[in-house]
Amino acid sequence: MFGNRKITRRNFLYTGAAAAAGLAIFSADGLAQSYDVRVVKLEIPLKRLPKSFDGYTIAQLSDFHYDDRFSSVPIHKCVPIVNQLHPDLIVLTGDFITVPLLERGRFLRAAVGTAKPCAEVLGTLQGPKYAILGNHDAMSNPPEIIRFLESNGISVMRNRSVPLERGSDRVWLAGIDDLLRGIPSIWDTLRGIPPDEATVLLAHEPDYANDASRFPIDLQLSGHSHGGQIWLPLIGAPWLPNMARKYPRGLYKVRNLTLYTNMGLGTIRAPIRINCPPEVTFITLRSARS
């Protein structure tokens, strides 16, 4: 016992994380990690991918949480990085804003307003751009955020899909509304997709892969976790959000589904990343048929 409070493993981890975070706030290294954008390059084979799509590239960005002082730095940095990669497709997997602790009034209006400069920066990405909403977007003012995004050439997907075509071959890009705060419908999302054609699903929360893997979906791209934002040696992330606790970062196989969880660009509540650098994911699809 310590005073009147029992020291549990959870309390110990939280206390350790808070101490690490406190040190990082005042260290140049902690802030530097928040700004040092890393490019993760992957080759992902999909059994049902047509031969004509072998080598098709996707750039994934996620969890922007735009603010003028901190998260705007890696967001601005990522644009020339992605444009130099020349991806065939750019996907943005949600959380363009941060909902404030006071979820109402002028605080919330100000937070929603940050979607405008965020969308303006992301609109300069070169290539077809598709987005889904994250839980922060869905719990604020989705129509306003969608308006900002689409006015900058970013198509927002809420429970719908679009075909990506090369000659007579197709791959489907599907986007489901946020699982925590939106109105998600996997049935509407996949409606009209032939069951024998390859499908890439954008879903903000990675742990949805457990459900998505029961459908004919080949690849799920997610964010939400920030990779933990703080990742401590031998411990991992002291805290992870709901629906990002099983698949918090990186590449997974869930039944016949391949899942990738991007660590995001922005930060939330504190401008700190420890062992979780902001990430641009550059995926090259490979066909098992080639």
Q: Sign (positive/negative) of CA torsion 209, 211, 213, 216?
A: negative
In a domain, 170, yes or no: yes
In a domain, 4, yes or no: no
In a domain, 1, yes or no: no
Q: What dihedral do alpha carbons 179, 181, 185, 190 form, nearest 10°?
A: -60
Backbone φ and ψ of 15, nearest 5°: -65, -40
Phi-psi region of 222 (alpha: psi -120 to 50; beta: other; left: phi over 0): beta
Nearest Cα to Cα of residue 172 among 60, 53, 51: 53
C-alpha span between 82 and 139 (Å, rounded): 29
Query: Please, is 9 exposed, middle or buried when counting C-beta atoms within 10 Å of its C-beta (0-12, 13-18, 19+)?
Result: exposed
Q: Looking at residue 101, what is its pLDDT?
A: 83
Q: Which residues contact 127 (CB under 8 A, 6 or more apart)?
A: 59, 86, 87, 88, 89, 90
- 211: tokens are 């459900």
pLDDT along the chain (290 residues), means of 10: 40 46 48 83 98 98 96 97 98 97 80 97 98 97 98 98 97 98 98 97 98 98 97 91 98 98 94 94 89
- pTM: predicted TM-score of the whole model, two decimal places: 0.90
Residue reference for tokens 């032939």: 194
In a domain, 81, yes or no: yes
Q: Looking at residue 284, what is its pLDDT?
A: 98
In a domain, 220, yes or no: yes
String of DSSP letters for 168-220: TEEEEEEEPPPTTTS---HHHHHTT--TTS-EEEE-SSGGGHHHHTTSS--EE
Strands 257-261 and 250-254: antiparallel
Q: Looking at residue 245, what is its pLDDT?
A: 97
- In contact, 215 and 257? CB cutoff 8 Å: no
Q: Which residues contact 136 (CB under 8 A, 6 or more apart)?
A: 65, 94, 95, 96, 97, 98, 99
Q: Looking at residue 84, what is its pLDDT?
A: 98
Q: Looking at residue 11, what is its pLDDT?
A: 47
String of DSSP letters for 235-263: TB-S---TT-SSS-SEEEEETTEEEEE--
Q: Sign (positive/negative) of CA torsion 42, 47, 52, 53?
A: negative
CA distances (Å), origin 111, targets 93, 123, 212, 255: 18, 19, 31, 38
In a domain, 184, yes or no: yes
In a domain, 2, yes or no: no
User: What CATH number has the domain bearing residue 50?
Assistant: 3.60.21.10
Residue reference for tokens 């929360």: 205
Q: Looking at residue 32, what is its pLDDT?
A: 58
DSSP H or E stretch at residue 121? helix 115-122
- Look up the domain containing 126 and give its range: 9-287
- 262: tokens are 């991007």
Count of structural domains within the chain: 1
In a domain, 238, yes or no: yes
